[in-house]
Structure 1
Amino acid sequence: MLTTTTHHRRCLFEDPMRARVACQIIHSNSTWGDTRLLAWVLMPDHWHGLLQLRDEPLARVMNRFKGNVTRALHASCLMDQRIWDRGFHDHALRADEDVRQAARYIVANPIRAGFAQSALDYPYWNAVWLDPEQPS
């Protein structure tokens, strides 16, 4: 489980155009390399994700993700300043922790923050269990 915040916790992704550009990058397989993105939510001032790592180091995966979002926002002329704070917070799930419960916790973030009554009311999230093309 990962969390990374925007620079100075600015609410950059309140803007729907910025959020859509970021979501395109999040949905791109090239963003994640050999890592599997299981669930994620983009909040106005941060991003939460649930990743299944393979061979690539976590720091490299997160640097690529943040760099790809930054380049896309700069290229689209929607931002010309720093997007992310340095670093990220991570929590490795133990063998006895339920991966789907962790995913539910992540995608319920907008509900806890008061942005939505239901996850279906919030547009900037996804989980592999919703995609019939993805194995569980």
Structure 2
Amino acid sequence: MPKSYNSKQLLKGRYSEPGHIYMLTTVTDQRRPVFSDFHLGRLVVNQLRQAHDEGIVNSLAWVVMPDHCHWLVELRTKSLGELMCRIKSRSSVAVNLATQSTNRLWQKGYHDRALRREDDLKAAARYLIQNPIRAQLTSRIGDYPLWDACWI
């Protein structure tokens, strides 16, 4: 299956609405482990926090893994597409400036999953932030530097 088909498939049925909660995932280009470098991972974190601080989203939880990022958000003022375009664009610029590079940072597209009102948000957040443990990057989430949750 060609890559363009996959990214188009991700758009099918995509609907975003302010006030709804979404689990978002985006992956680095060619799954390069760019964010194994803590300082580069913090550049992505800065963009997640900026979107929260500007009222675009209510950021509930996130984790930046070496080659991808998971983010649990309540959407506020923009569509999912606008939000992810902004995050990916601004983090790409920041990482490329820091590394003096012009490399593509992110794969095209992203994955989103809308959570229902009855879904347990804390359980979703716990699942999300336990990614570094499941990936055997750490044995305790407190030892992994690139995550946060609003309940902590």
Q: Which protein has the larger Cα radius of gyration, Structure 1 or Structure 2?
A: 2
Amino acid across the alignment from 1:3: T
* Alpha-carbon distance between aligned partners in 2 of 1:116 and 1:99, rounded to the nearest angstrom: 23
Contact 1:39 1:51 in 2 (8 A): yes
Equivalent residue number for residue 138 of structure 2:
116
- Equivalent of 2:127 in 96, 105, 122: 105
Equivalent residue number for residue 2 of structure 1:
24
Amino acid across the alignment from 1:18: L
Amino acid across the alignment from 2:39: M
Amino acid across the alignment from 1:24: N
Change in CA separation of 1:31 and 1:10 when aligned onto 2, cut-off 3 Å: farther
Structure 1: stretches of 5+ with no match in the other structure:
131-136
Q: Does 1:53 align with 2:89?
A: no
Q: Does 1:12 align with 2:34?
A: yes
Q: Does 1:39 align with 2:68?
A: no
Aligned residues: 130
TM-score normalised to structure 2 length: 0.78
* Alpha-carbon distance between aligned partners in 2 of 1:70 and 1:63, rounded to the nearest angstrom: 10
* Alpha-carbon distance between aligned partners in 2 of 1:30 and 1:49, rounded to the nearest angstrom: 12
Amino acid across the alignment from 1:80: T
The DSSP-based 3-state class of the residue aligned with 2:103 is coil
* Alpha-carbon distance between aligned partners in 2 of 1:86 and 1:31, rounded to the nearest angstrom: 26
* Alpha-carbon distance between aligned partners in 1 of 2:100 and 2:147, rounded to the nearest angstrom: 21
How far is 1:129 from its partner? 1.6
Q: Does 1:25 align with 2:47?
A: yes
Contact 2:52 2:58 in 1 (8 A): no
Percent identical among aligned pairs is: 40
Amino acid across the alignment from 2:123: Q
Equivalent residue number for residue 84 of structure 2:
62
Equivalent residue number for residue 11 of structure 2:
none
Q: Which runs of 4+ in 1 moved over 3 A?
A: 29-33
Contact 2:28 2:68 in 1 (8 A): yes
